[in-house]
Structure 1
Amino acid sequence: MDHQKNSPSQKITLKLTLLRHGETRANRDSLVLGTNTVPLTKIGIQQSIKAAKRIAQLSISAIYCSPFLRTTQTASYVTEETGIPAIELDGLREMDSGEMEGIKMDEMRIKYPEYMQKWDSDPSTARPPGGDTMGEVHERTWDSVLSLSEYHRNEHILAVSHLFPIQGILCNIAGIHSNNYEKFKIELGSLTTVRIEQDKKSIINISETSHLDIT
């Protein structure tokens, strides 16, 4: 990031809105999707356009996005509405599912029983062959959020990301273990907003989707 860092004497107050990308074929067909290059479906494009129109009302000052196609594509619609270019940030990327990329979710237990057994007992440390653990995803995402809070004090910014990274941010703010990620249901095209302050963190809303109902 090429932003001028703020003085350490300034209080850290970051308002961060998180946009989960729009629908892809993998979401529609219940395929394991992490790092694969998959574009938005027609529904995903409409979700992104509607989210962008809502975000344009929020007076955000910067847009960051995961470097994957589905998130850069989603972010491009926000850029069209706001005129703010999106900056790709590696820390916002989704979990790498390794060898499991692209298989049907209902095949995971058949093809990768050892991994699924570990996932059932401790999902944060379960590692798919050749991939990331969810705990690693949550850690790198939170590190990115803390970095953004230093560069964007007293600002409202947008991050376009994925399911596991957004859940990881919420787990950190709520002060709960990554294994409790399922407490947070994050819909495609939804908006989640949090506040990061020097002495406290708070969740403003989770998976807000009213903008998707507008025709």
Structure 2
Amino acid sequence: MKTFKNSYLLMRHGESEANVAGLIVSDPAIGCTRFGLTEHGRMQVVVSATRYAGKPINAVICSDFLRTTQTANLLVATLALPMAQIDIGLRERFFGDWEGKSDDHYPDIWRMDQDPERQMAHRIETVERVRQRGLKVIEKLEQARQNEVIILVSHGDMLQILLTAFVGKAADQHRSLAHHAQADIKALVTRTDL
């Protein structure tokens, strides 16, 4: 098993306007400027953050989508942490032809996760590419930091796909993992000597 220099926590963004509207919003041209958190989503983030009050957290790294930057900024404000940093490697998975359509299509997309050619035909970002993006974020942090607790704020598919690399599952098995609820914070890697 790989030894890590830092501890990592995963946080999914709070409820967003896209969640409430039942829309797939994965294009950065749209998601970085629109479909931020709902009032309920903001409350979810504050509630989750307060559970970590007094615990050591050194950095918050987030996707550049509006719903994740708002989540990260609320987390930072609630816990009086250093300003969140953006890493586009944590962006939402791109859902191609399903962009802007009903989120009822997610099961259809996930069924295609074992068929990269079919995904590419629909311009869907493959699970392996998503996983590699997430792992690169961690690799960069491992090179730049040491003995820190870092929260990665991202999106449901990104976080579940990234988690597969740490639990010994293929990336296309991400839906077999426990659902990552909105605004929930989960441990990914915990250094016992921190």
> For residue 47 of structure 2, what is the amino acid of its counterpart?
K
> For residue 88 of structure 2, what is the amino acid of its counterpart?
D
Q: How does 1:128-167 map to 2 (within 5 A)?
A: 129-167=122-160
Q: Give the structure with the larger strand fraction.
A: 1
Question: Number of residue pairs matched?
Answer: 181
Q: Which has the higher contact order (CA 8 A, sep 6+)?
A: 2
User: 2:29 matched to 1:31?
Assistant: no
Moved over 6 A (4+): none
Q: How does 1:1-215 map to 2 (within 5 A)?
A: 12-35=4-27, 36=31, 37-81=34-78, 82-106=80-104, 116=108, 119-120=110-111, 122-123=113-114, 125=116, 126-127=119-120, 129-184=122-177, 185-195=179-189
Q: Distance in 2 between matches of 1:13 and 1:196?
A: 10
Identity of matched residues, %: 28
Q: Distance in 1 between matches of 2:136 and 2:53?
A: 27
Q: Distance in 1 between matches of 2:23 and 2:112?
A: 22
Q: Distance in 1 between matches of 2:188 and 2:14?
A: 20
- Of residues 89-98 and 33-42 in structure 1, the stretch that sits farther from structure 2 once superposed is 33-42
In structure 2, runs of 5+ residues without a counterpart are none
- Of residues 26-35 and 148-157 in structure 1, the stretch that sits farther from structure 2 once superposed is 26-35
SS where residue 165 of structure 2 aligns?
Answer: helix
SS where residue 174 of structure 1 aligns?
Answer: coil
- Counterpart of 1:5 in structure 2 is none
How well do the aligned residues superpose, as a CA RMSD in angstroms? Answer: 2.4
Radius of gyration: which is bigger?
1
Check 1:183–1:108 CA distance in 2 against 1; reply closer, same or farther (3 A cut): closer
TM-score by length of 1: 0.75
For the 8 Å contact 1:99–1:128, the answer to whether it is kept is no
